[in-house]
Amino acid sequence: MPCRSDTLPDRMGLGGKFMNIGIIICDRYKSCAGGKCFRAARNREGAFGIYPEDENLEIVGYTSCGGCPGGNIEYAPEEMIKNGAEVIHLATGMVVGYPPCPRVSYFKKFIEEKYKIPTVVGTHPIPEKYRKTHVNLKTWNSKGWKDLIAPTMAGVDLRLAYD
Ligand code: SF4
């Protein structure tokens, strides 16, 4: 569970607690407008379901890994932290791409070790069309992959809503 943010009662006039989030996406999707990630954050869906309803989520950084093998993972968290990030999310694209990123576990371990910041694998719920293909491919049959996709494996209605 990520650390908790300060209470900043007047920030953006929203009141209450805030969690500042940095998102790193797979470079294959670098032209993605981010709509699914932002929607999921707004609705506390997918991996954003770990945050309580009364916590305001603010996305303070959004960038790509820089392309295989992910060189920007070494630097992007530093800038995000300077801009207030308290948790990093590795976007769902890293676990649903064809193939999924083979380095995603390492990225999580590296960021947590180097920057001492909680790192969550996933953002928006896994879209149903990706789930179907990966089930047929048996992509996620190992325990390691099952653990990685668990935060974003929503119910069928939600998966369809993100197709
Ligand atoms: S597969 Fe992994 S390393 Fe390659 S571009 Fe995507 S996130 Fe980056």
Q: Which domain holds residue 74?
A: 17-161
Number of domains in the chain: 1
Is 9's pLDDT higher than 90?
no
Residue 12 domain-assigned (yes or no) = no
Q: Residue 58 C-alpha to ligand 1 middle, in angstroms?
A: 24
User: Does 127 reside within a domain?
Assistant: yes
Residue of 101, 108, 139 to test ligand 1 pocket, by largest number of atoms within 8 Å of CB: 101
Residue whose CA is at the smallest distance from ligand 1 atom 7: 26
Q: Does any domain span residue 31?
A: yes
Q: Is the per-residue pLDDT at 13 higher than 90?
A: no
Residue 5 domain flag: no
Which pLDDT tens digit goes with each residue over 26-66? 999 999 999 999 999 999 999 999 999 889 999 999 999 99
3-state secondary structure of 29: helix
pLDDT of residue 15: 61
- Atom 1 of ligand 1 has which residue's CA nearest to it? 101
- CATH code assigned at 115: 3.40.50
Q: Tell how far the Cα of 126 is from the centroid of ligand 1, in angstroms.
A: 17
Provide the pLDDT for residue 14: 55
- What's the pTM value of the predicted model, to 2 decimals? 0.91
Judge if the beta carbon of residue 27 lies within 6 A of ligand 1.
yes
The answer to whether residue 80 sits within a structural domain is yes
* pLDDT surpassing 50 at residue 4: no
pLDDT at 17: 85
pLDDT tens figures, 96-151 = 999 999 999 999 999 999 999 999 999 999 999 999 999 999 999 999 999 999 99
CA of 89 to the centre of ligand 1 (A): 14
In a domain, 72, yes or no: yes
Q: Can you list the alpha helix ranges (DSSP code H) found in 69-155?
A: 76-82, 93-96, 104-115, 128-137, 143-149
Does 3 reside within a domain? no
**Any domain includes 30:** yes
